[in-house]
Amino acid sequence: MKQEKFATKWGFVLAAAGSAIGLGNVWRFPYLVGQHGGFAFIFIYILMVAFICMPLMIAEISVGRLSRSNMIDAYKSINQRSGAKHSSVWTFFAGWLGALGIVMITSFYFLVAGWVIYYLVQALTGSLMQSSSREIEQVFTGLTQSFTQQAFYALLFLCVTAMVVLGGVKKGIERVSLILMPLLFLIFIVLAIQSLMLPGAEKGFDFLFKADWGAIGFTSNGFDIHQFAKVCLAALGQAFISLSLGFGTLLVYGSYMSEKENIFKSVGNIAVCDTLVGILSAMIIIPAIFSAGLEPSSGPGLTFISLPIVFGTINGGYFWGIVFYLLLILATITSTISLFECIVNLFISKFYQSRPLATLSASLLCGTGLTLVTLSFSGVVDIRILGRDLFTFFDWLTSTFISAIVSFTVALFVGYQAIKPMQCSILRGTTKRPFLMRYLFITLRIIAPVALGILLSIAAYDQILKPISIKFMIYYEHIIRFILG
C-alpha cells in the first residue's frame, strides 16, 4: 500500500501544531497553573519541554519518517533496516502500550469535546450568560450527570472528526489544518487583548508572572521533594498531553512528512507555538477570573464554571463567550482529528483495511470507548477502577504512566539502539550538526531516561504502592485486633 503524504511544506507543521494545540492548552494548562502556584509551574513546564519533550518529539517523528510504518511495526522495521536483531520489548512498550493509551485518551477527550459544543449552544442561546453563579454551577453539574446529553454531543464531535479523517491526509487533515490554524491564532490574540483590558486584570498578571516557589516544594521549612516531584510530574504529564507526545501521533504524522523537511526546525516551531498558546490561554482565563473576584485554583471547572460567570459580568460578555467557545471547538477539532487519524492509520496499515472501512472501525472503537467513559463518569453505571471513574482513571493512567513509559522506551530505542541508522534522516536539512547530535545524545541517552525513571518511580510509590500498603496495613490491623480479641 502506498503511504499517503502531506502535499505542502506547511502541511506537517500546521497539522502537528493543530494536534498539539487543543483542550490540553486551553482547558487543562490554565487550571494546572492556577492550582500549582502560577509562574513556578510555567517555569518547570518550560524546562520539561526544552530538555525532555523536544528531543523525544524529534525521536518519535524520525522513527515515523524513516520507517514509513505504523506505530506498532515501526520499531521492527527500523531494526531490520540496520540488520540489528529485533527485540519485541520495543514493539510492546512503545508500540502496543502507545496504542492502548491513544484509545484511552480518545475515549475521554471526545467527552470533554462534547461539553464544548454544549457550551457553545448555551452561549448562542444566551442562556449561559444570563444565569447566576449558582445556576451556572448547576448547568455544569447537570451536564456531567446526564448520560444522554454528554453522549449525544460527544458522538456528534466524533462524527464530524470522522468525516474530516475520511477525506484522507491531503484532502482532509491538511486542508482543514491550513484553514483552521491561522483563524485560531487570530481569535487567540483578539481574546488575549480583550482580557488584558478588563478592570482588575492586573492581579491575574501578578499571579501569573510572580513565582510562588513554595507551591513547588521550596518552603521556608526546607525542600519538600515529594511536592517537587509531584509538580514536575504534573508538568511533564501536561507537556506530553499538550504536545501530543508519547502515544504515536507524532510518529504517524512523521510517516506522512516529506524527506526534505528539517525535523529540528519543525519541532522547534511546534513546541514554541504550543507553549505560547498554553501561556496565552492562561493569560486569557486567569486575569478574567481575578477580575470577576473568583479563585484560580478551582481545577477542571475553571473553563466550564468560572469562565461563564466572568462572561456574565463583563461588557459584551454574550459576544466574547461565543467567540471563546468557538475558539475552543476549533482547537479541539484539529486535535481530535490527530487522535482519530492515529487509530485509523493503525487499521489501514496493520489490519489492511481501506480508509472508509478503517474510519468505520475506528468510529466503532472510539464510540464504544466514549460510551463506557460517559456511563461511568455520569454515574449511570458504577464502573470504577482503583476507586476512580473511567474518565479520571484514563486521564490519570495516560498522563502519569503510559506517556512516560512509552517515551522512556522511545528515548532508549533512538538514543542507544537505532541512532546509527537514524542519524542521517534525523539530521537532514540541518546545519551545526555536531552540536545537534550532542544535544540529542545527552538528552535521549541520559537526561530523558533518568528523569523519566525517577519521576515514574516516585509516582508509582506515591500513587500506587503507598495507597495499597496503607490499605494493607488497615486490614492487617483489623486482623491483629480480631485475633487479640
Mark 217-256 with x for binding to ligand TRP (rule: CB under 6 A) and - for no binding.
------------------------xx-x--x-x-------
| DSSP summary character for residue 10 | H
- Determine phi and psi for 219, rounding to 5 degrees: -95, 170
- The set of residues, in sequence order, having a beta carbon less than 8 Å from that of 162 and lying 6+ positions away, is 340, 359, 362, 363
Nearer to ligand TRP, 144 or 335 (CB): 335
Report if residue 23 touches ligand TRP, rule: CB under 6 A: yes
Does the protein bind ligand TRP through residue 400 (CB under 6 A)?
no
Ramachandran quadrant class, 387 (left: phi over 0; alpha: psi -120 to 50; beta: rest): left
Cβ partners under 8 Å of residue 392, min gap 6: 377
In angstroms, give the least distance from the CB of 245 to ligand TRP: 7
Please report how close the Cβ of residue 60 comes to ligand TRP at its closest, in angstroms: 10
Rule CB under 6 A: say whether 177 interacts with ligand TRP: no
Query: Within 13 Å of residue 45, how many CA atoms lie on the same side as its CB?
Result: 28
The residues facing 218 across adjacent strands are 223
Cell numbers that stand for 276 in this block: 505560547
Query: Of residues 53-112, which lie at the interface with ligand TRP (CB under 6 A)?
Result: 105
C-beta separation of 74 from 434 below 8 A: no
Of the candidates 17, 25, 64, 290, which one interacts with ligand TRP according to CB under 6 A?
25
Contacts for 65 with CB less than 8 Å, ≥ 6 apart: 254, 255, 257, 259, 263, 425
Query: Using an 8 Å Cβ cutoff, are 106 and 337 in contact?
Result: no
Phi, psi (deg, nearest 5) at residue 454? -65, -50
Of 139 and 236, the one with the shorter C-beta distance to ligand TRP is 236
Cα end-to-end distance, the chain, whole Å: 72
CB 239 within 8 A of CB 59: no
Binding piece for ligand TRP, criterion CB under 6 A, among 17-25, 56-64, 214-222, 368-376: 17-25
- 21 or 66, CB closer to ligand TRP? 21
Q: Which is nearer to ligand TRP, 23 or 173 (CB)?
A: 23
In whole angstroms, the minimum distance from the beta carbon of 19 to ligand TRP comes to 5
The residue (of 35 and 242) whose beta carbon lies closer to ligand TRP is 242
CB 26 within 8 A of CB 373: no
Nearer to ligand TRP among residue 231 and residue 241 (C-beta): 241
**Are β-strands 222-223 and 384-385 bridged in parallel, bridged antiparallel, or unpaired?**
unpaired
Find the shortest distance in angstroms from Cβ 340 to ligand TRP: 9
Of 237 and 317, nearer to ligand TRP (C-beta) is 237
The interface mask with ligand TRP, positions 294-313, x = CB under 6 A, is --------------------
- For ligand TRP, the binding residue among 11, 14, 15, 19 (CB under 6 A) is 19
Query: Segment 339-368, which members bind ligand TRP (CB under 6 A)?
Result: 339
Residue 148 corresponds to which cell in the numbers above?
Answer: 444522554
The residue within the footprint of ligand TRP, chosen from 11, 14, 24, 143 (CB under 6 A), is 24
Asked whether position 335 contacts ligand TRP by CB under 6 A, the answer is yes
CB of 335 to ligand TRP, least distance (A): 4
C-beta of 102 vs 309, nearer to ligand TRP: 102
User: Which residue, 256 or 290, is less far from ligand TRP as judged by CB?
Assistant: 256
CB of 405 to ligand TRP, least distance (A): 14
Cβ distance to ligand TRP smaller for residue 333 or 459 = 333
Binds ligand TRP (CB under 6 A): choice among 22, 204, 369, 415? 22
Query: Whose CA is closest to 328, among 137, 113, 145?
Result: 113
**Which residue number places its CB atom closest to ligand TRP?**
24
Cα 198 to chain center, whole Å?
30
Residues 82, 88, 92, 93, CA torsion sign: negative
Q: Considering the complex, what minimum distance in angstroms separates the CB of residue 25 from ligand TRP? A: 5
Q: Which helix (H) or strand (E) holds 218?
A: strand 218-219
- Where does this chain touch ligand TRP (CB under 6 A) — which range of 22-30, 48-56, 150-158, 383-391? 22-30
Asked whether the beta carbons of 347 and 204 are under 8 A apart, the reply is no
Nearer to ligand TRP, 25 or 195 (CB): 25
Q: What is the dihedral of CA 151, 154, 158, 161, to 10 degrees?
A: 170
Binding range to ligand TRP, per CB under 6 A, among 16-24, 137-145, 166-174, 465-473: 16-24
Nearer Cβ to ligand TRP, position 249 or 275?
Answer: 249
Where does residue 5 fall: left (phi above 0), alpha (psi -120 to 50 degrees), or beta otherwise? Answer: beta
324 beta partners: none
Q: Which is nearer to ligand TRP, 201 or 327 (by Cβ)?
A: 327
Q: How far apart are CA 454 and CA 468, in angstroms?
A: 20
Residue 389: in which H helix or E strand, if any? strand 388-389
Count of residues engaged in binding ligand TRP, rule: CB under 6 A: 15
When asked if residue 270 is in the footprint of ligand TRP (CB under 6 A), the reply is no
Sign, Cα dihedral of 314, 319, 321, 327: negative
Tell me the closest approach of the beta carbon of residue 395 to ligand TRP, in angstroms. Answer: 11
Return residues touching ligand TRP (CB under 6 A). 19-20, 22-25, 105, 241-242, 244, 247, 249, 335, 338-339
